[in-house]
Amino acid sequence: MQNDNQRRREAAERRMLATMSADDIRVSERMREIRARNCSTPRDEHLKAHIAAMKRSLRTGEKKRKILFVTGESNSGKSRLVESVLAADPGFHWYDDEEGRAQPLLKDDAASPCTQRNFAIRFMKRLGLPVRDNLMKTVAWPQMVNAICAHRVMFMVIDEAQRTMKINDEQELQEFTENLITLVDNPDWPIRVILIGVDPLDTLRKRDTQMFNRSKRIKLRPISAAKASRVVTWLNEIIVEHAEFTMAGLKLEDLAMRLIHSCVGNAGSIIELIRDAVEIALWEKRTEVRPLDFAQAYYNRTECLPHDNVFVEQHWEVLPSGLAKLADNTEDETPAGVTKAKKLKPGERPR
């Protein structure tokens, strides 16, 4: 089913591309290549160390290394970080043995609405199994456990895991928590679990002593001005290495500070704004990214007035910060001039 849908999607995209202009195709294809490249961070090595410890715990049984929570605000790079580290690790690649095709890594988003039944059905479908959508939870979960064993799954990654906190029934939420613990404690086939989500997810870890005692957490925090050198690294990687452009006219340290200010340190937003500047150069058929490309990219995202453009004004520090941060209404603070959204309930995510 997955392969059939992929073929349909590729055929539909080819038809759509045939209606686009040559410039549209040129820019979109090039930007797809650039966005597919990963930007390095010290977080990569930190996550690798955690995953190595989780692998070791499969042999040692170390309780605290069975579950890993990766939390942070929207667009902080959580999913991309986990995906890139796991993709580079040969331990998570598919392989064939005497029993057929093995899938060491099982990854998907948490079901929405998230119930035990919906969760189990979603992950069985991710394994390519034909599953009825009306299975009872008392049947669906054991079938998922059997499927995990049959496919030799060793790690499960649950993205958008904050959806679990939308389970309003306390007994249902407790059962779901206990089932996750059972997965990592299974004496016949223990696996390791990585949960990725926005900060309300940490409530799932703290609400249950058994869950807390079996887990560690990585929290991705905003980039501070003191870490501006990291943004300079991303400027070099994206513009020079990924796009193969030049940037001789850019004052990198100053530009990095403006990027941090405009995105309030949100890593995903900073990286996307740099890529937006590259795209503007692409549209103009240039191979050099210029300072005004950042000003234009900032305007395109915020529709700010000229005197509020962080990449034009000399005294940019006094201008509102965070206007270029990718939409995230889960934050309590709202940049000046922006209407504050309705406060979300625990576990809710902006739609």
Q: What is the CATH number assigned to the segment(s) 223-325? A: 1.10.8
pLDDT on residue 196: 97
- Residue 324, both tokens: 């270029």
**In the predicted structure, residue 136 carries a pLDDT above the cut 80:** yes
Q: What is the domain partition of the chain in residue ranges?
A: 42-220, 223-325
**In the predicted structure, residue 350 carries a pLDDT above the cut 60:** no
Segment 91-95 mean pLDDT? 95
Cis peptide before 350 (omega within 30 of 0): no
* Cα 299-303-305 angle, rounded to 5 deg: 85
Query: Do residues 157 and 86 touch, judged by C-beta distance below 8 A?
Result: yes
- Cα 113 from Cα 133, distance rounded (Å): 13
Cα–Cα separations (whole angstroms), residue 93 to 26, 155, 174, 188, 318: 32, 11, 33, 22, 49
Instruction: Read off the pLDDT of residues 184-233 as tens digits, 9 standing for 90 and up.
Output: 999 999 999 999 999 889 999 999 999 999 999 999 999 999 999 999 99
Query: Do residues 141 and 116 touch, judged by C-beta distance below 8 A?
Result: yes
Regarding the domain with residue range 42-220, which homologous superfamily does it belong to in the CATH classification? P-loop containing nucleotide triphosphate hydrolases (3.40.50.300)
In degrees and rounded to multiples of 5, residue 117 shows phi and psi of -65, -50
Instruction: Read off the pLDDT of residues 232-287 as tens digits, 9 standing for 90 and up.
Output: 999 999 999 999 999 988 999 999 999 999 999 999 999 999 999 999 999 999 99
pTM comes to 0.84
